Structure 1
Amino acid sequence: MNLGALPLVVSLLTAQAPASVPPKAAQPQKTAPSQVPGIAPLPGQPNLWVSNVPQVPQELRQRMDQYLEARSASLVDVSNDGKQLLISTRFADTNQLHVVESPMGARTQLTFTDEPINQARFQPGNPQVIYYLQDKGGGEFFQVFQLDRRTGRSALLTDGKSRHENLRVSRDGRWLAYSGTGRNGKDADVYVAPTSDPRQARRITEAEGTWSPMEFSPDGSKLLVTQYRAVDDADLHAVDLKSGERRQLTPKEGKGSVNAAVFSQDGQSVYLVTDRYGDFNALYRLELAKAPLAEAPPSLTKSVQWNVVSLAMSPDGRRLAVGVNEEGYGRLYLLDTRTQALTPLDVPKGVVSTLRFPLERSDVLAFSLGDARSPLDAWTVDVKTRKTTRWTRSEVGGIDPALFVEPELVRYPSTDGVRVPAFLYKPKGLTGKAPVVVIFHGGPEAQSLPGFNNFAQFLTTEMGMAVLVPNVRGSDGYGKAYRAMDDGVKREQSLADIGATLDFIAAQKDLDASRVGVYGGSYGGYMTLASVAFYPERIKAAVDVVGISSLASFLQNTQAYRRDLRRAEYGDERDPEVRKVQERISPLNAVEKMRAALYVQQGANDPRVPQSEAEQIVQAVRKRSPDVWYMLATDEGHGFQKKDNRDYAQMTALMFFEKHLGTPGARGGASGSR
């Protein structure tokens, strides 16, 4: 699991997208791509279509310009000798692959495409070859490519139309594995191909549902594979690549998560992260000869009462790096595989993700790290001396990070004994009462983390607003009981957390409960629309990004691959009693109650929350309030990954909040001039 904080308008839903149809390529539109009356292409950006959205004032562009230039450098992989870090960062319009060959050295760009690249692996033993995943137009139909760094050319390895994910390469460099939907466009099978002839892939699973590769054994003879049914219902299997025999390692009875898994050095045991035996994801060791166990094995992380989220085994098998999410912050530990002793690694406080040992070095661990005032960057730590080394320092538009706001972790009561954890950002030097923007995360099985967010920082630093980021019931990171509190028809009770959030704001002497805006993407978009539908007198403005307006129609229209996965979370809309609740809590059916100003943003190629969810709420609300803003990006999917699109989406959202929350102008000093 990746602990990195994602941009709020990118990758807003944790479940993966299907591949039953080929992706839509961005192309000139001959007719309007939308049924919303009055929509027209934006001058200078014909891929953006807008309706009722005013022109962005030059003053706002200048104020936000530096914030929009902020970028991150997330670790993707590390070479065998640890001398090259492969990172994903943006210097033009989209994230591309770069390599860094020394701490704080130059970032050498390797790929130069229009579409973003965020997942890649070195060929073990030959860093001149890189495998990566890339989609087109945001449709999430990822393809596997092989990059030859000597020529700079990439070769397509997959069929060009199915969806592929979870790229893995064996330690010996002989095998490539990934999941793909090529068999029937709905089920995800696991494919394995020899790296000597990577187009000759064969399926090693061929069954209904979602199957994914996790980790090769050190000798490359076996592959760990997960069978995923829901966030709380997955199983781990080991597949013998020679015989094809597949053996289930987790018990057939009961259910639990499979969050991470790696082989021991001798290949006879597996270190598994699961919540099957407790409320949190914990680390266990399973001996293959004895699996599945009838009883719970002893926890290797019983001293840590938070979710274990990531693992990395050292090449010598003596150390297992363990990433833990404690109250949203990343913590690193080392497990001595001989003594089972667990000791902390002292790294800077922040959000940690992507743990990697070089395949030929057991003394250094690479990882990504960022915090609320600085974006994700690539780091290493010497596991013997415990010294950390920063390899990249990502830019924030020339602004001194000390000017940014560090959030405060707060908790407040809701119904059913729930205490909602949230991160509260307050403007520095605040006098009087500040307007508030509440930001809801997607998922729903996700978690807002205290990572860098230029949107939230602009609201606080430049516009004098407070930002409250709650992890309402149903969020990950606080135990499986908390995560399950909004499943199915229980989602109706979770709406009380919106009221609790508004009550918390009203109880603060320096927050203005009469000027509250809400913002969210995907499921966060649903919570945004639910806020204005079911708490209409308490919300002034709402920005819904690729959000769900009707739970029933969303389930009917999301891609076939995802439908059963989402029914496990939201309930089955085919059940009359379940559908009755879904209809009752769907914002589309409560339009007559809405009073807040509304701005809806959508990607035309969204395979998760289809365009119809955005357009039906826009058109319904306009029947009683014509001034609804709407933006549609024809070259995007579930969020906005291209810089120009993301910039416009953020600028207009800020303009919208400034208009309707009555905020002052720039608070001086941070933006400067360019």
Structure 2
Amino acid sequence: MKRQLVPRLLLTVSLSVAAFVVLAGPAPKRAAPRNYTIEQFMKTIRFGGADISPDEQTVLFSSNQDGVFNLYEIPFNGGGQPKQLTFSKTDAIFVIGYLTDGRILYSSDQGGNELNHIYLRERDGAVSDLTPGEKAKFQFGGLSHDRKSFFYQSNQRNKAAFDVFEMDLTTMKPRLIFENPGGFFPGDVSPDKRSIALSRPYTSTNGDVYLYDIQTKENKLLTKHEGEVNNGPEGFSPDSKKLLISTDEGNEFAYVKAYDLSTGQSMVLDKANWDIAGDYLSYKGRYRVLSVNNDARTELKIIDTRTNQPIKLPPMPGGDVTGVNIADSEGRMIFFVNSSNSPSTLFSYDIKSGKAAPLVRGLNPEINADDLVSGEVVRFKSFDGMEVPALLYKPKDVKPGTKLPAILQIHGGPGGQTRLTYSPLTQYLVNSGYVVLAVNNRGSSGYGKTFFAADDRKHGDADLKDCVESKKFLTQTGYVDPVKIGIMGGSYGGYMTLAGLAFTPEEFAVGVDIFGVANWLRTLNSMPEWWGPQREAMFKEIGNPKTDSVALYNKSPLFHTERIKKPLIVIQGANDPRVLKIESDEIVANVKKNGVPVEYVTFPDEGHGFVKKENEITAYKAVKEFLDKYLKGPGQ
């Protein structure tokens, strides 16, 4: 008898569901997704950081809601419209934070040249440049723990090395506390102002952490090791007794250990089956903010160090919590929530009361969120059996038998990663009927150090083969037209686009190159001096122009443009310090000689990426029109 209870129960449930369906009638048919313009997608707000005021009553943030990144304030508990504090129409302004007296620090460069300066905004709105200097870069290094000064890094003395200065907030006079001999990147200064954490990269997969004593000038190696181990400083404990260090020693993924500065002993603090992407302590040390790069998503925990247990965050809309900033009192915090189909929303959260408030929503209210598409993590086998991850975006309501055009989207780097975050360009293309596959080819970060190093000295070869193999995956979906697959990318992804057209000329129907490398010999020789030791790491990963010129010539699309037979569009900023405009000028001129359709869109006021909405709209509209003409074709 008992054995009959299970089928009876199942039958009862089935009948109940059937009865409900009959009583409820047919489910309402969802309306077809609406098509939106690029102008509507670009009304989405992007953020550039946020901070909580000293009295914890307001939140400062930077956003591009007026077309260029500027500073805004809004009450901590929400309500009303943000108050605009700066009104730049040319150069992007990014928040650093409040000082204890309510004055504000921010950072800005000139036309995208990446030569940032640090500015002080007085309470009356007056602004002064605290770091004047021609052709020098200044980077904020944190407020001192006593809040009486701040630290910054400058390459004014030596363009290839960043020195560290302390700026007194009363006198506004800087003093040098670390003269960089070269080869080091400065990290945090300890709360007691005694030490500076330094990183020393040798390659993209090997590096050390040093501890510099400001008083004695001793520079001590903390991470002696053998083989390829990537070590980097995360930050000091509030009592200055420990330094958190990220390492992958003996492990495929990065984890964090706490190094005791008095004993020289270390213990594992946080470890996961993916890379620990960030690990830091709040001002008094009550909370530890831990983020894990979990398969292109950010998995975040805020751990109460008294119990070593995560605190319970309020229910949030689906997505990743990022940019956590905890007030000095440790009673309030702010953060962003973002997903592949939802742009960032800025939230405030009162830890004691448990109340959260959305302060600024990034999505343009003209867009129905239901019309946006979520990215799906997929994997495919590449030419040598290696499993390659990718993010798939499929248009909504694809009719059976439909064959859609598709575009491969390749990230920058090398060594970057496309993550499940919101992209207006991706949503615009998918909304326009394109399948988008963002390939995290070998060499991408986030999937272990073996995968990360798998493209070393094989750029434009093994990683490109991954992209070619991804076409099989798209074709097997059944809804992608195998002869209408293009390739698109920015920076290193732009190089992959050009490499795809030049080295596999029959594989991709079109190419979209956004400030991509065309000539490795020139690019590696012209890297910004302030990259310092990172230049040598790039030489070891990609090739040294002095000793590997033949190999670099062979993998540079510029010298093989006679093979490019498919339509190409190139986007370039005139002030780009990483990929010089001449790279794009030459690739366009050479490909035009082949009688191939080539379009070229340049911006005199942009660098390596976009900071102005107007320019993004122009660029993305040109990309879509190009794809409609040469990839989708008439009648689709």
- Tell me the TM-score normalized by structure 1: 0.82
Question: Partners of 1:152 and 1:224 in 2: how far apart?
Answer: 34
Q: Does 1:270 align with 2:243?
A: yes
The partner residue of 1:209 within 183, 202, 206 is 183
SS in structure 2 at match of 1:596: coil
CA contact (8 A) 1:546 1:602 kept: yes
Question: Partners of 1:150 and 1:456 in 2: how far apart?
Answer: 41
Q: Does 1:639 align with 2:612?
A: no
Partner of 1:300: 269
The partner residue of 1:354 within 317, 323, 326 is 323
Q: Does 1:655 align with 2:628?
A: no
Following superposition of structure 1 onto structure 2, how do residues 175-574 of structure 1 map, counting pairs within 5 Å? 175-214=149-188, 216-251=189-224, 253-254=226-227, 256-258=229-231, 261-291=234-264, 297-302=266-271, 304-338=272-306, 340-341=308-309, 348-361=317-330, 363-381=331-349, 388-396=356-364, 398-431=366-399, 432-461=402-431, 463-489=432-458, 492-562=461-531, 563-574=535-546
Question: Partners of 1:349 and 1:258 in 2: how far apart?
Answer: 33
Partner of 2:585: 615
Q: Write the letter of the residue equivalent to 2:94.
A: N
Deviates more, 1:151-160 or 1:263-272: 151-160
Question: Partners of 2:457 and 2:361 in 1: how far apart?
Answer: 43
Distance change in 2, residues 1:352/1:571 (3 Å): farther
Partner of 1:29: none
CA contact (8 A) 1:374 1:396 kept: no
Question: Partners of 1:408 and 1:312 in 2: how far apart?
Answer: 30
Question: Partners of 2:530 and 2:284 in 1: how far apart?
Answer: 39
Question: Partners of 1:198 and 1:569 in 2: how far apart?
Answer: 42
Distance change in 2, residues 1:568/1:356 (3 Å): farther
Deviates more, 1:640-649 or 1:466-475: 640-649
Partner of 2:19: none
CA contact (8 A) 1:427 1:460 kept: yes
Question: Partners of 1:77 and 1:260 in 2: how far apart?
Answer: 23
SS in structure 2 at match of 1:482: helix
- What does the per-residue CA deviation read over 1:511-535, in whole Å, with 9 as the maximum and x for residues that have no partner? 1111112111100001111111222
Deviates more, 1:625-634 or 1:320-329: 625-634
Distance change in 2, residues 1:505/1:574 (3 Å): same
- What does the per-residue CA deviation read over 1:361-380, in whole Å, with 9 as the maximum and x for residues that have no partner? 2x433222211222122224
Q: Write the letter of the residue equivalent to 1:238.
A: L
- What does the per-residue CA deviation read over 1:324-368, in whole Å, with 9 as the maximum and x for residues that have no partner? 11111111113343565567857544244322211122x433222
Question: Partners of 1:198 and 1:242 in 2: how far apart?
Answer: 22
Post-superposition shift, 1:638?
0.7
Q: Gaps (5+ residues) in structure 2?
A: 1-34
Q: Gaps (5+ residues) in structure 1?
A: 1-60, 667-674
Question: Partners of 1:565 and 1:393 in 2: how far apart?
Answer: 40
- Tell me the TM-score normalized by structure 2: 0.87
Question: Partners of 2:261 and 2:588 in 1: how far apart?
Answer: 55
SS in structure 2 at match of 1:417: coil
CA contact (8 A) 2:510 2:566 kept: yes
Deviates more, 1:626-635 or 1:514-523: 626-635
Paired-residue identity, %: 29
Deviates more, 1:365-374 or 1:281-290: 365-374
Partner of 2:24: none
SS in structure 1 at match of 2:453: helix
Q: Write the letter of the residue equivalent to 1:529.
A: L
Question: Partners of 1:570 and 1:166 in 2: how far apart?
Answer: 30
Deviates more, 1:424-433 or 1:172-181: 172-181
Following superposition of structure 1 onto structure 2, how do residues 84-103 of structure 1 map, counting pairs within 5 Å? 84-103=58-77
Number of residue equivalences: 594
Post-superposition shift, 1:175?
2.4
SS in structure 1 at match of 2:269: coil
Give the number of the structure with larger relative contact order, counting CA–CA contacts within 8 Å between residues 6 or more apart. 1
Distance change in 2, residues 1:84/1:454 (3 Å): same
Question: Partners of 2:65 and 2:316 in 1: how far apart?
Answer: 27
SS in structure 2 at match of 1:566: helix
Post-superposition shift, 1:603?
1.2
Distance change in 2, residues 1:251/1:342 (3 Å): farther
Question: Partners of 1:634 and 1:228 in 2: how far apart?
Answer: 34
Q: Write the letter of the residue equivalent to 1:549.
A: A
Post-superposition shift, 1:609?
1.0
Post-superposition shift, 1:87?
1.2
Deviates more, 1:258-267 or 1:236-245: 236-245
Deviates more, 1:80-89 or 1:251-260: 251-260
Distance change in 2, residues 1:133/1:325 (3 Å): same
SS in structure 2 at match of 1:300: strand
Distance change in 2, residues 1:581/1:495 (3 Å): farther
Post-superposition shift, 1:632?
1.9
- What does the per-residue CA deviation read over 1:25-79, in whole Å, with 9 as the maximum and x for residues that have no partner? xxxxxxxxxxxxxxxxxxxxxxxxxxxxxxxxxxxx9833211221123433223
Question: Partners of 1:484 and 1:70 in 2: how far apart?
Answer: 36
Question: Partners of 1:394 and 1:103 in 2: how far apart?
Answer: 17
